[in-house]
Structure 1
Amino acid sequence: MEKLYSVFFSPTDTTRGVLDFLVAGMQKAAEDVDLTSYQNKDLQKDFTAEDTVLIGVPSYAGRVPETFVQRFKENIKGNNTPAVIVITFGNRAYEDTLIELKDLAQANGFNVIAAAAVVTQHSIVPQFGAGRPDEQDKAELAEFAVQAKNKLASQNTAAITVSGNRPYKQAMASAMAPVLAEDKCIGCGTCVIACPTGAIDKSSFECEKAKCISCLRCIKVCPMNCRYVPEEILAKLKAHLAPLCASRKDNEFFI
C-alpha cells in the first residue's frame, strides 16, 4: 500500500479507537479523515488505487448512521481503492450495518477486501458490553490486522461476502435527545462545536430534537457533565436491551 487512510464517523470515539488499534497492527501510519464533525460535513477526499482505506462507523439500530451515509456518498470517492470496513456495535446485534457499509463503499469506488464487526461498550447504556474491546477482543483484532495486511501485500483483491440482508431493515428514528442541566452549564460552547449535526443552539445551548441523532457526543465532551438522557427514557431502553445484550456477543471477521 502506498498510503493508509482512516475514514470514520465516531461521535464517542469508540469506533475511532478500534480503527487506531487496527492501524497499529498494520504497522503503517494512517491519515485520519474524520467525518464526525459538522464542520467537516463537506470535506471531500479522492483516493487512488494505490491507497488503502479503513472505513469505520458505529451501528445505529442495525444500520449505518444516516449522517455518515450523506457525507460519504457525496464527498468520499475511491478509484478501485482497496478498503477494509469496520463497524462497531454495543453487544446487541449489528443486523444490516456491515452489508450496507460494504454496498456504500463499493458504490463510491472502493474494493472491499476485508471487513470486521467489533463488539464495544454500548454508547447509551454502558453496562452492556462494559470493558469491550477487552484483551480477548484485542487479540482477535490484532490477528485480523495482520491478515488484512498480508492480503494487501499479496495483491489479493478478491471480493468478500459479509453478513446482512437486502433490503436493509427499516431505519428507526431516535427519540433520545440529551437534556441540558442549565444550572451546571457555563456556556463554553464545547457541545455546539462538537455536535455532528449542528443540533445545539449556540445561544441557548438547547438541543433541537429534529436534528439530534442521539449519538451522545455532547454528553461525552461536556466539561461540566451538564447533559444527560432522562432517567425514564434510559430505564425503558435498559429494559428493552437487557434480554438482547445478556450474553457475550462475538466479533465477526470477513477476509
Structure 2
Amino acid sequence: MQIREIHSLYFSPTGGTAKYAKAMAEGAAEALACPAEISSFTLPREREEGRHFSSDELLIIGSPTYAGKLPNKILPEFQEKLRGEHTPVLLFVTYGNRNFDNSLAELLSVLRGNGFLPLAAAAFACRHAFSDRICPERPRAEELTAARSFAARAAEALKTAERAALEAVSLAFTVPGDAGAPYYVPKGEDGAPAKFLKAKPLTDLSKCLHCGACAANCPMGSIDSSDTSKVPGICIKCQACVRGCKQGAKYFEDAAFLSHVRMLEENFAAPEKENLYFSVF
C-alpha cells in the first residue's frame, strides 16, 4: 500500500499528548520515507475548518482522556471536522495514571464512523494535568522512543499490505473499553462524587502581568483577553492556563476539585501504569 503523506493531529492543552504525536509521526515518516505534517487541534482557530484525508494518506491522531472518555466539549469537533476516505489511522490516547477507561474505544468508534481504517492504537500514561505528583516526568525519553518504534512498525507493515486485506482486518480491530459508556464520576477524598463542573480558574493579581498567555492558550476561548481574571466561557479544567502561566498567577480553589486532586494523588501517584499497544499487524 502506497502512502504519500503522513498527518499527525493532536488535542493537547498541556503538551503531553503533543509529544507523543510528534514521536509517532517521526517513527512513521522514517519507516515510510515520506513527509509528516504535525498539527494541533487544540485551539479554537485550529478547529474551525474541517479536515479531509485521502486513501493514500496516513493519519496519526491523539487526545488526552478526560473522565474516562474523550473531552466532552471537544468530542463534537472530532465527530464533525474529521473525514477520511478509507484512510488508515494510528490512534492513541494519554491518561494521568488512573485509567484510560473508554477513551480509546470512543476515539476508534468516531474515526471508524468517519471513514477511517483503524489499524493500530495505544494508550500512554502521562503526567496528570491536575498534579505534578502523578507521573511527573512522563513522557520520558525512553517512552517517546517506544512510541516512535510502535508507529514505525505499524507504518512499515503498511508498505506490503493489500488494501482489501487492511479493510477486512480494520473492521474487526477492537481495543479495550466501551465507546457508549458514561463518563467516569470524579470522587473526592471521602469517596463521594466530587462535583466541580462549574469550577473555573482564579487569578492572583499580585502575580499577573496581564500578558494574555492564559487567554491565548485556552482551548475553549473562554478567558477574556481584555481582563484575564474573567472566565465568561466554559471551563473544561484542562489546566492550560495554569500550566502556561509563567508567573504562577492562575489557580483553582474550588473545594470539590481540590479534594478530587488529593484523592488522585493519594491513590494514583504510584505505581505508574505501563503504556499499552494494540495492532492488527
Pick which of 150-159 and 97-106 moved more: 150-159
By how many angstroms is 1:228 displaced?
1.6
Please report the TM-score for the alignment, with normalisation by the length of structure 2: 0.83
CA distance in structure 1 between the partners assigned to 2:242 and 2:47 by the alignment: 21
Report what 1:71 is aligned to: 77
Q: Which one of 82, 91, 97 corresponds to residue 85 of structure 1?
A: 91
The verdict on how the C-alpha distance between 1:235 and 1:67 changes in structure 2, with shifts beyond 3 A counting, is closer
Runs of 4+ aligned structure 1 residues displaced above 3 Å come to 171-176, 231-235
CA distance in structure 1 between the partners assigned to 2:136 and 2:244 by the alignment: 20
Q: Which one of 160, 176, 193 corresponds to residue 163 of structure 1?
A: 176
Report what 2:122 is aligned to: 116
The verdict on how the C-alpha distance between 1:151 and 1:177 changes in structure 2, with shifts beyond 3 A counting, is farther
For residue 102 of structure 1, give the secondary structure of its aligned residue in structure 2: helix
Query: Can you give the 5+ residue segments of structure 2 that lack an aligned partner in the other structure?
Result: 186-195
For residue 62 of structure 2, give the secondary structure of its aligned residue in structure 1: strand
Q: Structure 1, residues 143-194: CA drift from partner, whole Å, max 9, x if none?
A: 3122211222122622221010243223657454221111222222222222
Report what 2:150 is aligned to: 144
The verdict on how the C-alpha distance between 1:119 and 1:183 changes in structure 2, with shifts beyond 3 A counting, is same
Pick which of 211-220 and 66-75 moved more: 66-75
Q: What amino acid is the match of 1:215?
A: C
Pick which of 26-35 and 16-25 moved more: 26-35
The verdict on how the C-alpha distance between 1:139 and 1:209 changes in structure 2, with shifts beyond 3 A counting, is same
Equivalent residues in 2 for 1:133-212 (5 A)?
A: 133-155=139-161, 157=166, 158-159=169-170, 160-170=173-183, 174-208=197-231, 211-212=234-235
Report what 1:4 is aligned to: 6
Query: Can you give the 5+ residue segments of structure 1 that lack an aligned partner in the other structure?
Result: none
CA distance in structure 2 between the partners assigned to 1:233 and 1:145 by the alignment: 39
Equivalent residues in 2 for 1:196-235 (5 A)?
A: 196-208=219-231, 211-230=234-253, 235=258
- In the comparison of the two structures, how many residue pairs are matched? 255
By how many angstroms is 1:231 displaced?
8.2
By how many angstroms is 1:233 displaced?
5.4
For residue 66 of structure 1, give the secondary structure of its aligned residue in structure 2: coil
Q: Structure 1, residues 196-225: CA drift from partner, whole Å, max 9, x if none?
A: 111101222134376000111112222322
By how many angstroms is 1:102 displaced?
0.3
The verdict on how the C-alpha distance between 1:191 and 1:120 changes in structure 2, with shifts beyond 3 A counting, is same
For residue 32 of structure 1, give the secondary structure of its aligned residue in structure 2: strand
Equivalent residues in 2 for 1:92-131 (5 A)?
A: 92-131=98-137
Report what 1:30 is aligned to: 36
Supply the RMSD in Å over aligned alpha carbons: 2.1
